[in-house]
């Protein structure tokens, strides 16, 4: 009997503890619900206040910032229409580098390097020139060569029908020898440095050949220019346009007068 009573007492105690736990859980739930309701009320009040404040701010700002119609920022066009595209002016002469090499000088302090450049200039209308330049930089050497080529420019008198030479020509410069002859219906039949010179000179319907084995472009260019010299127009210098008489300085003028007076005196004496 005693064991049965003990079991009953244990069951009653368990039921009591479960009841107490349930009551505590119910109390916690009610507290949470109350807290959540209070928070919702506070949030609604704060949102209402903020909305009222925003409304007042927007009402105040409306007259200051009014929305404007969107317009694209188009460029103002010139009255004639679109502006003209930029065009570079074509250069006066076309140029081609025939030789570009590095030259070394052995000095007491060491080696010194410089660059030599050979350039052919031409306008493809009958004028051709060749120049050599030497400098410590390639750009400076090219400038010097262009300057010299402009000084030694030659204008050729070509046939107006096909821009060719009128008869066969040959020339030799050092180890290179060149032959140039008129050829109809074949265009420009030449190669190497000779072709560069004839092309920039505007020569057409001609054939050329290098008779020697020389591969020195500078000598080949100079040989072709030497061969084309018979067709070059004579240069008219400014000195030839002026009178051939000397521009007498004051001293020369006095001596001229003195000599003239002496001659007159001699004539009178003879008479």
CATH number at residue 184: 3.30.160.20
Is residue 3 within a helix (H) or strand (E), and if so which, with residue range?
A: helix 2-61
Residue 103 lies in a domain: yes
What pLDDT, on the 0 to 100 scale, is given for residue 194?
A: 96
Residue 162 lies in a domain: yes
Please give the Cα distance from 141 to 144 (Å, whole number).
5
Please give the Cα distance from 247 to 253 (Å, whole number).
9
Q: How many domains does the structure of the chain reveal?
A: 1
Residue 153 lies in a domain: yes
What is the pLDDT averaged over residues 243-256? 46
pLDDT digits (tens, 9 = 90+) for 146-195: 999 999 999 999 998 889 999 999 999 999 999 999 999 889 999 999 99
Residue 163 lies in a domain: yes
What is the pLDDT averaged over residues 199-221? 95
Which residues, in sequence order, are CB contacts of 216 under 8 Å at separation 6+? 175, 176
pLDDT exceeds 60 at position 230: yes
Residue 183 lies in a domain: yes
Q: Which domain covers residue 185, as residue numbers?
A: 94-231
Residue 173 lies in a domain: yes
pLDDT digits (tens, 9 = 90+) for 66-101: 666 666 665 666 555 566 677 888 888 999 999 999
Distances (CA, A) of 162 to 79, 129, 165, 189: 46, 22, 9, 14
Percent helix, percent strand, percent coil in the chain, to nearest 5: 45, 20, 30
């Amino acid at each position: 009997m005693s064991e049965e009573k003990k079991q009953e007492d244990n069951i009653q105690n368990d039921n009591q503890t479960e009841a107490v736990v349930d009551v505590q859980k119910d109390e916690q739930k009610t507290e949470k619900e109350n807290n959540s309701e209070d928070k919702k009320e506070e949030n609604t009040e704060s949102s209402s206040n903020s909305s009222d404040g925003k409304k007042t701010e927007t009402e105040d700002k409306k007259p200051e910032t009014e929305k404007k119609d969107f317009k694209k920022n188009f460029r103002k066009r010139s009255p004639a229409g679109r502006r003209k595209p930029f065009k570079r002016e074509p250069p006066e002469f076309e140029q081609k580098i025939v030789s570009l090499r590095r030259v070394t000088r052995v000095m007491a302090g060491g080696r010194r390097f410089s660059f030599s450049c050979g350039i052919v200039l031409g306008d493809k209308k009958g004028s051709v020139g060749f120049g050599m330049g030497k400098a410590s930089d390639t750009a400076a050497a090219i400038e010097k060569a262009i300057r010299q080529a402009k000084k030694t420019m030659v204008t050729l008198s070509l046939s107006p029908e096909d821009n060719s030479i009128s008869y066969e020509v040959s020339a030799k410069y050092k180890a290179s020898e060149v032959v140039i002859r008129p050829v109809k219906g074949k265009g420009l039949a030449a190669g190497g440095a000779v072709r560069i010179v004839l092309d920039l000179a505007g020569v057409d319907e001609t054939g050329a050949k290098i008779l020697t084995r020389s591969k020195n472009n500078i000598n080949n260019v100079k040989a072709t220019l030497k061969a084309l010299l018979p067709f070059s127009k004579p240069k008219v210098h400014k000195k030839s346009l002026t009178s051939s008489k000397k521009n007498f300085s004051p001293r020369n003028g006095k001596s001229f007068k003195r000599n003239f007076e002496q001659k007159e005196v001699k004539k009178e004496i003879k008479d």
